[in-house]
Structure 1
């Protein structure tokens, strides 16, 4: 990617909520839609009753109809209070809410003309909402109940004393009622079915993301098992090489040749690094080889990490800035250490001449920013940032370093951002919640 390409960004967010909470969140949103629809129904009924009773001079039992409206308002208020106390909503609760709406509508229709009331078509709104919101058995139950209610209105309802003037078209109050009912049905269906469908699509997208996350985590587990097995297997040959190099140092042919001794020293240094990598791999897998995590602080952890990383890498220029501020206690975490080293290694490979590490704190988050002067990320890499085997290095099996970084960050509840700088180079930012990496006051003092 050219150095001066316009900066773009890709972000991997913290781990989503467990699968069990997805349907709960969707149910909550759908119940909120029903509550909004009920408020609209209350206002609409007040306006309609007023227009019919006072505008068209059609006598209605106002006391009874307003009592039904008061009951609907009380039920809606109770629904709001219930959502604040217990936000999870099940299919049965949505079913019950729709049954209450059907009962209230039936009561109002019974008091205002029965089956001859043009607003009986509002039953179709309840059936449609049930078909979208409820399980199959609940939907068919709503269909049966609305049919029974309509039949009951036809049998027991008392028609209003309206003139038979349907032939007058829009001058007929009955035609006006049918027109208003149709417009109301259509508008509410478009508005609320669109919102509810959006909620369901969000749920489906969330489930798809969770399935993808589960597949990636399963892949990580398999990689961890392979790495642990490889580390075990490498222990013996590395020990053998260490013994051989130690013997070579005391052999006359090598002891009297400074250049060979220097090369043996370099080989032993790299061998010690290989042993440290093997030990860290086993430690990350929960198989510490005589080592254990110890208490430290964030600043000390970062300073030691940078010192060790610089001592084992061919770094030409490295700018390290620690602006964390007040130091906090933490446990030295090998996984966190490897995560930061992976990002630094990638940056060093892309930018051998210079790279920088900046540590900052913002409220309750801990941020590490790694900057380099390399070619930056290709657009395709940014578009699929964090996916395994997405690498610009052209090597088989590449792209796993950042993949592991992202999964460690997810495990800690953090996030990773990658972008290109307008002046050239790339920036990778790791953001972690302080609660995930620090010790509480009691833990810090061993209470």
Structure 2
């Protein structure tokens, strides 16, 4: 951020240099005879240009800018301004209030101690102009007369006010943007921490559920009094639970293992258990490039499964899935013909502010879409919610995301 402030200071110097040239040009054209520039005044102006060029080159370097460097830059401005004012009228120069411009920059960027130090030094420098008489000029500057001085004060006020409003306004916008970015980063970190906590709970659940499921499997084999169909259903569901736990364990042990497979095979792998669990709701699939190969991360596969499960649990007559690949991205849209998302949910999704534990389903935990959004952000993708004859979820994911 300090680098931007130094760049703003450099821009202010260029504006001040342009102001000097413009003032001198007007005096040369308007006054007869025209006032002359002393050698010392030319040297001060040249030093201003040289230091500003060096400062601009310094900003191209990768080294960070610290507050002490910005303070030294402002001290240089104080010295050069005092030199220029001394050679062009001293304390009677109407542009002497330009001292306040670098002081305003210091007040908005530096620590209180440095700001007060600079203010004290500027007060001393202004006082020196009263006791250090400027050299006599062959032709005086126009503000040496009372009318010229008043006119110069008016011009200086307008120029200084314009510079302050423009540059400090931009600085204020940057500070507000930085504050908003910081708040958003804190919110994202909170969501990541919550997701991490849920992941730890899930790992504990995998460990804790393994033994009860194994016990229930043994007990299911001893249900002699139950009909064969009931025993078969119980054993099938228990076997499915064991398969889910085994898959979670495999994903935890080998998160980087990404088997490459055809898009059609991948989608069938994700849809098969859902078709079995939600036989009453048909799933219509449309694949633009079914034989295209891709390696989709485990996390992304879980996102698709969670979104599909949400769609199947909605009051809908069917679920529609459309997936395709481009040269750089994987796209998947999942739609139903239910009531759709609320306006509040759509607004939260547009602002990337989906909160956990906020569900629109009566028995929902409020975790699915929030975790999906966090996961896709980590993978470089995005989750988009829309209402189109029901709820629609668009998933976009780079094929070569960093986590691949």
Q: Are the counterparts in 2 of residues 280 and 334 from structure 1 also a CA contact under 8 Å?
A: no
1:393 aligns with 2:361: yes
Q: Are the counterparts in 2 of residues 29 and 199 from structure 1 also a CA contact under 8 Å?
A: no
Whole-angstrom distance in 1 between the partners of 2:113 and 2:395: 48
Q: Are the counterparts in 1 of residues 92 and 144 from structure 2 also a CA contact under 8 Å?
A: no
1:434 aligns with 2:399: yes
Q: Are the counterparts in 2 of residues 315 and 352 from structure 1 also a CA contact under 8 Å?
A: no
| Aligned counterpart for 2:269 among listed residues 266, 290, 304 | 304
- Classify 1:42/1:412 alpha carbon distance in 2 versus 1 (closer, same or farther; 3 Å): same
Equivalence for 2:212? 237
Whole-angstrom distance in 2 between the partners of 1:358 and 1:69: 67
Equivalence for 1:7? none
- Classify 1:392/1:104 alpha carbon distance in 2 versus 1 (closer, same or farther; 3 Å): same
Whole-angstrom distance in 1 between the partners of 2:332 and 2:133: 72
| Aligned counterpart for 1:262 among listed residues 205, 229, 233 | 229
Equivalence for 1:108? 84
Equivalence for 2:14? 39
Whole-angstrom distance in 1 between the partners of 2:126 and 2:289: 69
1:381 aligns with 2:349: no
Equivalence for 1:122? 98
Whole-angstrom distance in 1 between the partners of 2:183 and 2:262: 36
Structure 1 residue 121: deviation in Å? 0.4
Whole-angstrom distance in 1 between the partners of 2:337 and 2:132: 83
1:419 aligns with 2:394: no
Q: Are the counterparts in 1 of residues 289 and 325 from structure 2 also a CA contact under 8 Å?
A: yes
1:55 aligns with 2:41: no
Q: Which moved more, 1:189-198 or 1:102-111?
A: 102-111
- Classify 1:44/1:164 alpha carbon distance in 2 versus 1 (closer, same or farther; 3 Å): closer
Equivalence for 1:445? none
Q: Are the counterparts in 2 of residues 297 and 328 from structure 1 also a CA contact under 8 Å?
A: yes
Whole-angstrom distance in 1 between the partners of 2:262 and 2:66: 44
Structure 1 residue 406: deviation in Å? 1.3
Q: With structure 2 as the length reference, what TM-score do the two structures score?
A: 0.86
The 5 Å alignment of 1:329-344 reads: 330=295, 333-344=297-308
1:410 aligns with 2:377: yes
Aligned to 1:430, the other structure's residue is in SS state strand
Whole-angstrom distance in 2 between the partners of 1:303 and 1:89: 55
- Classify 1:438/1:311 alpha carbon distance in 2 versus 1 (closer, same or farther; 3 Å): farther
Q: Are the counterparts in 2 of residues 381 and 390 from structure 1 also a CA contact under 8 Å?
A: no
- Classify 1:61/1:294 alpha carbon distance in 2 versus 1 (closer, same or farther; 3 Å): closer
Q: Are the counterparts in 1 of residues 90 and 134 from structure 2 also a CA contact under 8 Å?
A: yes
- Classify 1:101/1:306 alpha carbon distance in 2 versus 1 (closer, same or farther; 3 Å): farther
Structure 1 residue 324: deviation in Å? 5.6
Equivalence for 1:209? 184
Equivalence for 2:203? 228
Whole-angstrom distance in 2 between the partners of 1:28 and 1:80: 11
Aligned to 1:428, the other structure's residue is in SS state strand
Aligned to 1:295, the other structure's residue is in SS state coil
- Classify 1:335/1:158 alpha carbon distance in 2 versus 1 (closer, same or farther; 3 Å): same
Structure 1 residue 141: deviation in Å? 2.9
Q: With structure 1 as the length reference, what TM-score do the two structures score?
A: 0.78
1:219 aligns with 2:187: no
1:98 aligns with 2:66: no
Structure 1 residue 66: deviation in Å? 4.5
RMSD, aligned α-carbons = 3.0
Equivalence for 1:314? 279
Q: Which moved more, 1:347-356 or 1:59-68?
A: 59-68
Q: Are the counterparts in 2 of residues 315 and 348 from structure 1 also a CA contact under 8 Å?
A: no
Equivalence for 2:321? 357
Gaps of 5+ in 1: 1-25, 167-171, 255-259, 440-447
Structure 1 residue 203: deviation in Å? 1.0
The 5 Å alignment of 1:284-295 reads: 286=252, 293-295=257-259
